[in-house]
Amino acid sequence: MTSQGDFTFDRAIAVVRRAGADGSRVVFDAMVNPGWDIMGNANGGYLLAIVGRALSEATGRPDCVTSTTHYLAPCPAEPVVIEVDVVRSGRRFATAIASMRLADSGREIVRTMATLGDLANDPGGPTLMFDGSPARGPGYPRYEDCFVAGGSMITDFAHLHQFLGTRLDPRAARFREGIKSGEPVMRGWFEFKDDRPVDSLALMLAADAFPPAVFNVDLAAAWVPTVEMTVHIRAVPAPGPVACEFTTRYVQNGLLEEDGTLWDSAGTLVAQSRQLALAPRS
């Protein structure tokens, strides 16, 4: 259920179950690690991966097939406590709710509701795909042509990329210089710098690890706080980098949605995400 080997991501999302579980409630201690932040606030996908680990341990299911997280407060690098309430435990799926709080102040950071399963051993059913991986179509930036997120992007603000090998479409990666593609689309590839395999927990990180698609349109490239993010894990990824495409269609009255589709190296759909966020203000 957990990946093997000594990888930075696994150390950063480790959870320790407290003894003496109270009925359907399981409590974990964890540490929001430094360096997984953007401008000092822990990345939302990183927080979700910690919560996902706790949900998985509490329910005994490897995959958060569908998870929804409401982001309640910015998170510093501090010890946290995660309480998981198992709502229902069925044969195929289990549903649970997790709350992450700062251990010191008790401030709640995120609340997540998820239905978990075991996709590698799921009974499955029909497949009918009406769209293929964009990474196999024309116009998608090739892995080797993408910009690796690095340099001042890491040192100045998006610190979490120091652990990732995030690669960005060169047409969409120059927003910091004021060069914008004009399209609310961010494409690229996700992997870890230390070659940790991308599993369903890593996909939850990947769903929120790219610069917002709206940085390439006529809006300030400023903080885009997530109100809510839902991630559907659709398959366990094959080895290799994951092609990620994020798009926004509607920025309306200060709220926007960003939709992600993530595909593995075999061309299989592995995740879809949608978040509702506050539009950046200049």
Q: Which residues lie near a second copy (CB under 8 A)?
A: 65-66, 68, 70, 72, 87-88, 93, 95, 97, 108, 111, 113, 115, 119, 122-131, 184, 214, 217-219, 227-228, 230, 232, 234-235, 248-255, 257, 268-269, 272, 274, 276, 278-279, 281
For the CB of residue 34, give the shortest distance to a second copy in the complex, in Å. Answer: 26
| Min CB(266)–a second copy separation in Å | 13
**Residue carrying structure tokens 């090998």:** 165
User: Shortest gap between Cβ of 112 and a second copy (angstroms)?
Assistant: 8
Structure tokens, 125 = 């059913």
Query: What are the structure tokens assigned to 122, written together?
Result: 């799921």
Distance CA 226, CA 72 (A): 9
- Cβ proximity of 93 and 115 under 8 Å: yes
Q: How far, in Å, CA of 137 to CA of 140, rounded?
A: 6
Strand pairing report for 79-89 and 25-31: antiparallel
Q: What is the DSSP letter of 105?
A: T
Q: Between 66 and 166, whose beta carbon lies closer to a second copy? A: 66
| Closer to a second copy by Cβ: residue 17 or 274 | 274
Q: CA 116, 83, 278: angle at the middle one, nearest 5?
A: 75
Tell me the closest approach of the beta carbon of residue 276 to a second copy, in angstroms.
Answer: 5
| Residue count of the chain | 282
Residue 183, token pair as written in the block: 């399209």
CB of 65 to a second copy, least distance (A): 7
Instruction: Report in angstroms how near the CB of residue 84 gets to a second copy at its nearest.
Output: 14
CA 142, distance to chain mean position in Å, is 22
Report in angstroms how near the CB of residue 60 gets to a second copy at its nearest.
18
Nearer to a second copy, 87 or 103 (CB): 87
Q: How many CB atoms lie within 10 A of CB 64?
A: 30
Helix or strand or coil: residue 2? coil
Q: Which is nearer to a second copy, 27 or 160 (CB)?
A: 27
Sign of CA dihedral 209, 112, 82, 199: negative
Nearer to a second copy, 4 or 130 (CB): 130
Q: Which is nearer to a second copy, 163 or 263 (CB)?
A: 263
Judged by beta carbon, residue 6 or residue 131, the one nearer a second copy is: 131
For residue 241, give both structure tokens.
């980098």
Q: Is the dihedral of CA 134, 140, 146, 147 positive or negative?
A: negative
Phi and psi (nearest 5°) for 231? -125, 125
* Residue 96 CB, nearest approach to a second copy (Å): 10
Task: Please say which residue, 29 or 183, places its beta carbon nearer to a second copy.
Answer: 183
Question: Residue 154 carries which side chain, given as an amino acid letter?
Answer: I
